[in-house]
Amino acid sequence: MKTVFSRLLVYINNFLANRFPWHAVRRIWYRNVMGFSVAPSSSILMGVTFDARRGFAMGANSVVKEEARLDTRGGIVLGCHVSISSRATILTASRDPGRAGLAGYERGVVIGDYAWIGLNALIMPGVMIGEGAVVAAGAVVTASVEPYAIVAGVPARAIGRRYDQLDGGARHRQLFK
């Protein structure tokens, strides 16, 4: 019965609560009902979907933009000043095609401070994105990314380095987003 109730809350989140037009109200929902740790200065914009309750922590001045998908079954940790762009997907669970019955597995994802994940990027289970790293739009990240690296492509490969003296945040607040 506990599983049914938990799945019902995820459904309510993904089809109702995530569309409520005020950050503060959604933050209360995420903290108290979904069991997430979301810093008061951070924002999860409208339309973001989650695969499970709990398993999500978000540092100060970070933002997850519209229509992102976060698979929290294996755990996701976002540092401070992180920007997850619209329609990005972070997966933490998958199936192993090399094992009998396609056995499933879960592996957490950690994204370091000041990292920026581009539009439509896909982060695969078990990946660590280093501090200040940039994942280009549409990239598919299958391996961990070094701090301050810029990666792009399918699969993502290093294409450059980011300036390492970062300041300021990814704060992104609009009244109805």
For 36-91, the pLDDT digits (tens) are 999 999 999 999 999 999 999 999 999 999 999 999 999 999 999 999 999 999 99
Q: What is the CATH number of the domain that holds 65?
A: 2.160.10.10
Q: Is 127 contained in some domain? A: yes
Q: Is residue 88 part of a domain?
A: yes
Query: Is 175 a member of any domain?
Result: no
Residue environment code for 14-23, b if the CB has 16+ CB neighbours within 10 A, otherwise e: beebbeeeeb
The boundaries of the domain holding residue 69 are 2-161
Q: Which of 57-66, 105-114, 168-177 has the lowest mean pLDDT?
A: 168-177
* Total-model pTM: 0.92
CA gap 157, 170 in Å, rounded:
24
CA of 32: how far to CAs of 3, 5, 54, 58, 73, in Å? 18, 15, 10, 15, 18
Position 172 in a domain = no
Joined together, the tokens standing for residue 148 give 């301050």
Residue-wise pLDDT tens digits, 147-157: 999 999 999 99
Query: 119-123, 145-149, 159-163: lowest mean pLDDT where?
Result: 159-163
Task: Evaluate if residue 2 carries a pLDDT over 90.
Answer: no
Asked if the model's pLDDT at residue 171 lies above 60, the reply is no
Tell me if 173 is assigned to some domain.
no
Neighbouring CB atoms inside 10 A of 129's CB total 28
Query: Does some domain include residue 76?
Result: yes
Annotate 109-128 with b (16+ C-beta within 10 A) or e (fewer): bbbbbbbbbbebbbbbbbbb
Let me know if residue 131 belongs to a domain.
yes
Q: How many domains does the chain have?
A: 1
Question: What local confidence, expressed as pLDDT, does residue 176 receive?
Answer: 57
Dihedral sign, Cα of residue 62, residue 44, residue 153, residue 112: positive
Assigned domain for 177 exists: no
